[in-house]
Structures are given as C-alpha cells and as structure tokens.
Structure 1
Amino acid sequence: MNTQILSVPAAIRARRTVRHYRPDPVPTELLDELLDLAVQAPTAWNMQDRSIVVVTGESGRRELSAAAHGQPQPAEAPVVLIFVAETAAWEAPNTDIAELAGRRGAWNPEFTAMFESRAEFHELRERGLLRENSVKNAMIAATYVMLAATSLGLASAPMNGWDPDLVKKAIGIDDRPDLAIAVLVTIGYSDATPPHPGRRDRARNIFSERYPR
C-alpha cells in the first residue's frame, strides 16, 4: 500500500463530502485497513454495539441508491458502508469483551463487575434511550471511517435522506426490529475535489462553560 498517509489534523481539514465517484475499485488491502481502523472506534462500556455492512456489488449498491430516493452516491461509489446500530447487543453475555479487557490489563475486577451488571443499560432502557445510545456509537465509528478514508487518499460521503426500511431490506435485516440504520457512508475515489463550503466563525458555535441564553 503506497498511499501517502495524512495526519489526523490534515485529514480533518482535507475531508470533503463527495457525491460523484470514479469507477475505480478500492484495493482490497486499502478497504481492509479502513475497516480495521473503523472498529477501533470507542463505544460505551466497549459494548461494540454497532456493525458495518460492506456493500460492493452493483445490484446491492443500486438498491441502496433507490432506498436513498435516487441519490447517485451508492450507485457510483465502489463501496457503501451501512452502519447498523445494535440496540439489544447489551442483553447478550458478551463475556469475550470482559475477558479480553481483563487479559490486557485494561479492566480491573471492580470495573468488570460494573460491566456485568449492565446498570447503565437498564437505565437507558427505562428512559427509552437504547436506540439513541447505539446510534451514537455507530456514528462515532462512521466518523472514524471518513477521517481514515481521507488519510488513505479515499473520498467519502455521509448520507442522509434514505428510507430505513428499504435500507434494512437491501442488507437483509428487514425482520430485525432490534437493529437500526445509523448512517450510510460511500467510499471511493472522487471524480473532482469539491471546494470547501466554509464554516461559521468559531464564536458562533463554541462557548465557555455554559450555553448562552
């Protein structure tokens, strides 16, 4: 892999949302590296309650384009990543998570006991926030993907404007109410570098200590 790697600050500044792509395929080793970086994204209690469905086939990408009301990105980009939020993942034993963290010295017995109690997840369920929690975790992974893609010389686009039922049907999970679609991210090579649309001055969005009234 001969790609010149960008630093994180450089990738943040260089990233653009790309809506049109060249047909060039993404090399397997580059896609593997991108996915390896994606799963490094943090999740609450390291629950890893998000998955990524990788769609590269033409028929699947066209189905996703139709699910997105005809937007061209999924049909043109050689790779579409669907970030799936697993709202019920916390209900499984997930013993492998605690065992691995213990072997690595990352968790002590007290923290492991807190993980096993699932107290925070029970509270989220009572407040009706399980879906929101897992979607947040999936979106963090999507952000990792977009910045990693830019650093590896790839273009990407986070997608809104799709029918979640049709997206779920396209990837074979339309019978799973415990799964939610967080976001679609297209990956490939841009046919042109879009200009930066600009951002508001920091003073418009950054505040000290408290949000202004």
Structure 2
Amino acid sequence: MNSQRLSVPDAIRARRTVRHYRPDPVPAALLEELLELAVEAPSAWNMQDRSIVVVTGETGREGLSWAAGGQPQPAEAPVCLVFVAEPEAWREDHADVAERAADAGAWNAEFAAMFDSRAEFHHLAERGLLRENAVKNAMISATYVMLAAASMGLASAPMNGWDPAKVKKVVGLGDRDDLAIAVLVTIGYPAGPVPHPGRRPVARNVFFEQYPNGGGSRMTRATDR
C-alpha cells in the first residue's frame, strides 16, 4: 500500500476506470476514511438525499456482477459501492441537519427558515425533477469517492449498464420504488496498469459565456470571436 497521498489535481490526473482487480482486500481503515470523505460531498440544501450501500461479501458482489450483465468489476473488486438516490428524502425530518448548521455558525435564521420551508423541493416536485436532483447529489458523492480512492493508491470504476431492479434486489431494496440507483463504483487494487485513453483538447469542450450554436463551429470559444 502506497502511504504517499496524491494531491487533488494529481488524483484527478491519475484516476483511471479499472475493470480488473487484484483480490487484495481494501484495508478497513482506508475504506472507513473513503466513506467519511464520500459523505462530505455537497448536496442541494445539504439535504444529503443519497446513501451508499457497501458490498464486500462475495455473494453480494457476484450478485451485482449479475445485475450488471456479467461485467467483471463487482465480482473482482473487493468493494462495490452502490449509490442510492433518495428523491423523497426532503419530506422527512431534517432537524438534525439544521441544528448542526446553526451550531457551526454556517446558517443564519433566515437561511434555516428557507430550509424548513422546502420551497425549492416543492418546485422540483411540481416539475417532476426530484429524482434528477437526488441522482445529481449521489453522483457528486461518487465522484468524491473516486478521487479520494485515487489519492490513496486505490483504483475505481464508475459503472453503467446495470439493471436497476436487479441491483435493488441484490442490496435489499426490491420493493422501494421511492428510491433510485444512481451509480455503482467498484474499489480495489488494479490487476495491471491502465493507460490513459486521452481526452479531447480543452477548447473542444470548454466555452466562455455562451455555448456555440447555430452555424458556429464547436471549436469556437467566446474569446475567439
């Protein structure tokens, strides 16, 4: 295990999506720290409307591989994290969230009152965007996990291509239609080196002030006009 931690920029550059893993277990202390960092991720109004199911047992990981159409990552990696989005969590009692924020001096009375009103969530509900909002928050937490893992010398893979009903069945959420599976992330040590596939130049996907449309070239930035 590499005890030298990478900085955030270095972790971003070092991170790879790894499909094959060594069987070496993730040390309990590292996994605990990884999960602590995951829940530090921001969420809208600090509602924390996402949870993580930590799957380390062989039966559960094989089940997640089955749920993902036979993809090898969950079966090979010693840890698979299932990020669960909770679109209806805003309706629950969150007095502890407000109390912690007030005690820390992070929220004033006006902001706490806005939090209590849940006005933004009522608007999201009216527009049918509660699930999208919760999934976004879960994905932010998953990104924290992947970068933290890279900083610790661990590999990860954000997974797509799974059947949400099957994933729910594996992790005990088969009858919870109020919950959504946001993403699966495997964690472990890579079986071998994984080359960087490369990225397009920044100018290909980064624009200033406005997105180019109409007949303009996608390569054009606002500053190039």
TM-score range, shorter-chain basis?
over 0.9
How far is 1:2 from its partner? 6.4
Query: Who is 2:211 aligned against?
Result: 211
Partner Cα separation in structure 1 for residue 79 and residue 128 of structure 2: 33
Query: What is the CA–CA distance in structure 2 between the aligned matches of 1:157 and 1:3, rounded to whole Å?
Result: 21
Aligned pair 1:76/2:76, yes or no? Answer: yes
3-state SS in 1 of match to 2:3: coil
Task: State yes or no: 1:37 paired with 2:62.
Answer: no
The residue number in structure 1 matching 2:105 is 105
TM-score (norm 2): 0.94
User: 1:7-156, aligned counterparts within 5 Å?
Assistant: 7-156=7-156
- Shift of residue 4 of structure 1? 1.1
Give the aligned CA root-mean-square deviation in angstroms.
0.8
Q: Which amino acid aligns with 1:34?
A: L
Could you tell me how far 1:193 is from its partner in structure 2? Answer: 1.6
Task: After superposition, give the CA deviation of every residue in 1:183-203 in whole Å (9 maximum; x if it has no partner).
Answer: 000000001120000000111
CA–CA separation in structure 2 for the residues paired with 1:34 and 1:13:
19
> Percent of pairs identical after alignment?
74
The whole-number CA distance in structure 2 between the counterparts of 1:93 and 1:77 is: 36
Match of 1:208, SS? coil
Q: CA deviation at 1:50?
A: 0.3
Larger Rg: 2
Task: List per-residue Cα deviations over 1:148-176 (Å, max 9, x = no partner).
Answer: 00001100000000000000000001111
Q: Which amino acid aligns with 2:165?
A: D
Aligned equivalents of 2:40, 2:87: Cα separation in 1: 19
Aligned to 1:169: 169
Three-state SS of the structure 2 residue aligned to 1:23 is coil
Deviation at 1:181, TM superposition (A): 0.2
Q: Secondary structure at the match of 2:153?
A: coil
Note if contact 2:2-2:152 (Cα within 8 Å) is conserved in structure 1.
no
CA distance in 1, matches of 2:162, 2:200: 27
SS at match of 1:181: strand
Distance 2:133 2:100 in 1: 23
In structure 1, what is the Cα distance between the partners aligned to 2:193 and 2:128?
Answer: 42
CA distance in 1, matches of 2:122, 2:56: 37
Cα distance change, pair 210–165 in 1 and its aligned pair in 2 (3 A) = same
Which ranges of structure 1 fall in alignment gaps of 5 or more residues?
Answer: none
**Which SS does the other structure have where 1:53 is aligned?**
strand
State how many pairs are aligned: 213
Q: Secondary structure at the match of 2:52?
A: strand
Superposition TM-score, scaled by structure 1 size: 0.99
Match of 1:181 in 2: 181
CA distance in 1, matches of 2:141, 2:3: 22
